[in-house]
Structure 1
């Protein structure tokens, strides 16, 4: 069998209840050899057992921590074990389609791209609604008035369009942006840009990475022959709830935005002000609104906000503060142990 060129680093995104469907799609629809590392950041017992069983059957590696990880922490843990030409980062709520990996690799080989992103769809039914079809991410200089301000340009193409309507318009092309839902990266670029920035805790880490790649002279391509879908959603089980709330915490979001601003010396303009106003929107949409409807027997998604919003803020602060206090010791413990090969030691 041909030696794999690709290692898939599979990480938790915001919940655990889609893990099985996502992992099984990879093994069903991947036609070329690959290695796989599953970074298991404190998944619940049922998911943990499933992963261990599958690792025995399919001979993939598990890196397990008994605490929750931010996305870039998880990716870096997996990346440290990668020795192949390419690495694919993929979230555990992404469902792939036939030929997905072959098409990503083919694009990289034919264009010498540093980074290749797929046609990313969203929600169910699968592979029908575009989430992302390439985009823009760069710093531009605003010389309005007497000041020169460094401002961020971010744009995602074709979002919300039906794939059937735009498919003929899409072609392989150089772009400025790829998302970590699913992305192929030429591993050698990390020798230039270093590991992924773990100060980018939960948002805009893909912008930071793509701009760093371009700054280092790398190229990013959009490859529509590869179609995958990420399935966002509320935490579907109680065991998802804690991680979901931490993952989309106010503290992590604000810290990430401030890191992006300071790292790239950006003006705190309308882009950031708009993001600040929306802090916590995912918890509101996925947890508070459904809870409102449940408690008001379907009458309103906002009626009890004067009570629920302050409770959410207090609980969210408690969870992030507790995590922050515990994690330095946990990370030190992890550094002193070697990731295990689940197929041989689990």
Structure 2
């Protein structure tokens, strides 16, 4: 068997309950030789046992910390174990389609790209709903100051509607749902910025790559779907609430603005907090809202749901993050437990 060109690094995105489905899909869709490093940041006991058994059976490297991780922390843990030409970062809720890895590697080999992203679908693979088919991002100099901009192409479109318009092309950014990076890029750039805690990590890396003279490419023949369906388990919520907390968001925004010399009134970064609040409230407030809609008038339902309960949830989340931090679950990474089998 030929020596692998790629190390796949799997990291937690926002929950753990889709771990099994995503890992089995990855192996089913990836015949090409590859190394796998699975970074398990404080998953519940059921998932911890499953991953340990899979690591022994399939022969991948499992790295576990006993605390939850900022996504870029998890990626850097995996990155330190990469000895191949390429690293692919993929979230633990992403379902790759057959041929995804071969086509991303082919794109990098044929173009010399530092970064390659696939076609991102959202929901369930058979829905064929586009999350992003390449993205744009950059820093603009305007009379009112430096401004960050970003745009997703073809978001919300059905794949069949736009397939003929999709082609391999350089672009401004791709996302960490799944991203191939040439390992030598990190020799130039250093590790991923762990102060980018929950927003715009992908934008930050792609901006750095392009500033250093590298290219970012979109490869439409590679497809990855990130799963938003399915019930959340109670064991998901502790990480989920921290992952999309205002505390992480505010720290990220302040750091990103300082790093790229953006003003405090930059509109795109100002939109991060409302986005994160909506993301966090989706599996909770939105479900309550649907129940209220069936029981009450529209006006009363909206007032009680999104207004009253929405504001209450924000307060509860702030309290929860303070309590969770007080448990000591926010300091330096605990000693890493690494299980390595058959490598």
TM-score (norm 2): 0.92
Q: Secondary structure at the match of 1:341?
A: strand
Q: Give how far 1:343 is off.
A: 3.1
Shift of 1:235: 5.7
- Deviation, 1:261, is 1.1
Cα–Cα, structure 1 residues 24 and 45, in superposed 2: closer, same or farther, change >3 Å? Answer: same
2:212 corresponds to: 216
In structure 2, which of residues 170, 185, 190 is the aligned counterpart of residue 194 of structure 1? 190
TM-score, normalised relative to structure 1? 0.91
Mapping of residues 66-105 of structure 1, within 5 Å: 66-105=66-105
Cα shift at 1:278:
4.1
Whether the 8 Å contact between 2:289 and 2:306 is mirrored in structure 1 is yes
Q: Distance in 2 between matches of 1:53 and 1:314?
A: 40
Task: Provide the secondary structure at the position in 1 that maps to 2:37.
Answer: strand
- Any conservation in 1 of the 2:120–2:133 contact (CA below 8 Å)? yes
Q: Is the 8 A contact 1:38 1:63 kept in 2?
A: yes
The yes-or-no answer on 1:40 pairing with 2:36 is no
Match 2:339 to one of 334, 338, 341: 341
| 1:227-247 deviation digits (Å, cap 9, x = unpaired) | 110112476111111111111
Q: Partner residue of 1:56?
A: 56
Matched position secondary structure for 1:76: helix
Maintained 8 Å contact 2:199/2:272: no
Report the CA distance between 1:167 and its aligned residue: 1.0
Deviates more, 1:232-241 or 1:132-141: 232-241
CA pair 298-193 structure 1, distance change in 2 beyond 3 A: farther
Name the structure 1 match of 2:320. 319
Name the SS for the 1:197 alignment partner.
coil
8 Å contact kept, 2:114–2:216: yes
Q: Distance in 1 between matches of 2:311 and 2:112?
A: 51
1:21 matched residue in structure 2 = 21
1:92-143: CA deviations, max 9, x gaps?
A: 1110111000000000000011000001111124361111111111111113
Cα pair 2:5 2:85 within 8 Å, conserved: yes
259, 273, 288: which one aligns with 2:270:
273
**Structure-2 change in CA distance of 1:306 and 1:328 (3 Å):** closer
Shift of 1:307: 4.8
User: Structure 1 CA distance, aligned partners of 2:260 and 2:151?
Assistant: 17
Change (3 A) 1:58 1:119: same
Distance 1:329 1:151 in 2: 33
RMSD: 2.0
SS state at 1:32 partner: coil
Specify the SS of the correspondent of 1:126.
Answer: helix
Deviation at 1:318, TM superposition (A): 2.9
Q: How much has 1:175 moved relative to structure 2? A: 0.8
Kept in 2, the 8 Å contact 1:114–1:219? The answer is yes
| Residue 297 of structure 1, CA deviation | 5.9
Q: How many residues align?
A: 336
* Secondary structure, counterpart of 1:200 in structure 2: coil
In structure 2, what is the Cα distance between the partners aligned to 1:296 and 1:111? 52
Counterparts of 2:288 and 2:322, CA distance in 1: 24
The reply to whether residue 153 of structure 1 matches residue 149 of structure 2 is yes
